[in-house]
Amino acid sequence: MGQFVVAGGRPLAGTFAVSGSKNAALPILAATTLVAAPVTLKGVPLGLLDVRHMLAMLRELGVRVATAGPDSVTVDARGPLSPDLPDAYTRTMRASVFLMGPVLARLGRVTVSRPGGCNIGPRPIDLHVKGLAALSVRFADGPGGHIVGEAARLKGAVTYLDFPSVGATENVMMAAVAADGTTVIENAAREPEVVDLAQFLNARGAAVHGAGTDRIWIEGGRTLSGGTYELIPDRIEAGTVAVAAALTGGDVTMSHVIPEHLTPLWRKLSEMGAVVELGSTTVRVSAAGALRAASLRTGPHPGFPTDLQPLMLALMTQARGCSTLVETVFENRLRHALELRRMGANVLTDGRMAVIYGPTPLEGAVVEATDLRAGAALMVAGLAAQGRTTVLGAEMVARGYQDWAQRLQSLGASVTLEP
Ligand code: EPZ
């Protein structure tokens, strides 16, 4: 397990080019297995561990994968594929579950190990299974803690998601593309990454309508063709840098951003006293004066993104007054609060709620990344702390942030990655 060592007290300044979106890349890479022709994806964050794991899993299934540039990959799924998702990846990367729909669509069968929990909650796949079952997939328990899904033919249907799950929406959408007839997903997730998947599928010849709303309908059975597609930027990476600029009293301009993907963040940062300037594909964030306390509640898009909740909690430790934060999406996504207390933060948690009194001076300490966004938050807190902060679990952060130490250094941060 590597560690990041951060020397605090230096405001971030300069320009930052945002990578392609991890959470668009993972489902779209899975969706390439639906296409019996080569597909080239651009804007793929190939430096991320999760993306590398997804590419390795595709190769193990029989898909040909070739790098086509620093952030581009060509995928050819024409050959015979295996229905067995490799345990090595399904146990460590939840996004493996995105392959269930496409593999069922191609082969009529899929085997997957039950997903382990993770640090932010149990994260079952019951909504994925229920949605795919609506399309005539029959699931049964297989040997060794596996689930087996089978369907002679996928049949379009109306399915309702008890919770607007991003992954379940994407899984059902991909399966529905290959189903006979029309599928309607009610209470669908509305995240920009869901929209990007729909746009990728439609660029291949599919007929996905309503993505970005809570009712998506898909006319199945279209022939899909190969081609080239560029992913959207990573809004969570952009949000992470924006909070880092505000927390360090810096001034950073981010490029390769779709500002409307993060409206809730820009509003909240402005409310807290940061200066946010939105361009068409850029955002500039600066904070010279004191920050003001605020209240925050995460929620499914267009609500405040849960993935930026840890970053906002770190920011609130430096805001004047009493801030409150409620995490409504995941059951156990406040563990970074305890790590921030080690650095001197005055934060109390109870269940899904945190109360933060600020500003409190942060001191460098040894802390641990409990999930990838928590790790990013602890690094950002370290940038504002006095002294050195060591964030254990660098691999966790590398799942979602590529070349992270170097890219923060380019903004003036003192960050090193140690083995
Ligand atoms: C996606 O995860 C993202 N990951 C997550 O980003 C993100 O936090 C999450 O959506 C919410 O926006 C990818 O896109 C690869 P969900 P996903 O299904 O699809 C419960 C990051 O940091 N649930 O919307 O797994 C689940 O337990 C990651 O980049 C069920 O109960 O999220 C959770 O409480 C972290 N049953 C809630 O729904 C199910 O079958 C939201 O999960 C599925 C989900």
Which of the listed residues 127, 166, 265 should we mutate to test ligand 1's pocket, taking the one with most ligand atoms within 8 A of CB? 166
Residue nearest to atom 30 of ligand 1 (CA): 124
Residue nearest to atom 9 of ligand 1 (CA): 166
Q: Please give the C-alpha separations between residue 341 and each of 245, 359, 367, 408, in angstroms, as whole numbers.
A: 21, 13, 10, 24
Residue nearest to atom 17 of ligand 1 (CA): 167
- Residue 325 is predicted with a pLDDT of 98
CB atoms within 10 A of CB 328: 15
Residue nearest to atom 42 of ligand 1 (CA): 165
Say if CB 67 and CB 89 are below 8 A apart.
no
Structure tokens at 333: 């996504």
Distance 165 CA to ligand 1 centre (A): 6
Residue nearest to atom 24 of ligand 1 (CA): 165
pTM above 0.85, yes or no: yes
* 118 assigned to active site: yes
Q: What is the pLDDT along the chain (419 residues), one digit of tens a residue?
A: 799 999 999 999 999 999 999 999 999 999 999 999 999 999 999 999 999 999 999 999 999 999 999 999 999 999 999 999 998 888 778 888 999 999 999 999 999 988 765 667 666 899 999 999 999 999 999 888 899 999 999 999 999 999 999 999 999 999 999 999 999 999 999 999 999 999 999 999 999 999 999 999 999 999 999 999 999 999 999 999 999 999 999 999 999 999 999 999 999 999 999 999 999 999 999 998 899 999 999 999 999 999 999 999 999 999 999 999 999 999 999 999 999 999 999 999 999 999 999 999 999 999 999 999 999 999 999 999 999 999 999 999 999 999 999 999 999 999 999 99
Residue 223: exposure state from Cβ atoms within 10 A (0-12, 13-18, ≥19): exposed
Of 13, 118, 278, 326, which one is the catalytic site residue?
Answer: 118
Ligand 1 shell residues, CB under 6 Å: 22-23, 26, 94-95, 121, 123-128, 163, 165-168, 193, 306-307, 329-330, 372-373, 400
- Residue 116 is predicted with a pLDDT of 60
The secondary structure of 386-397 as a DSSP string is: BSEEEEE-HHHH
- Residue 89 is predicted with a pLDDT of 85
Distance 312 CA to ligand 1 centre (A): 19
50 CA closest ligand 1 atom index: 15
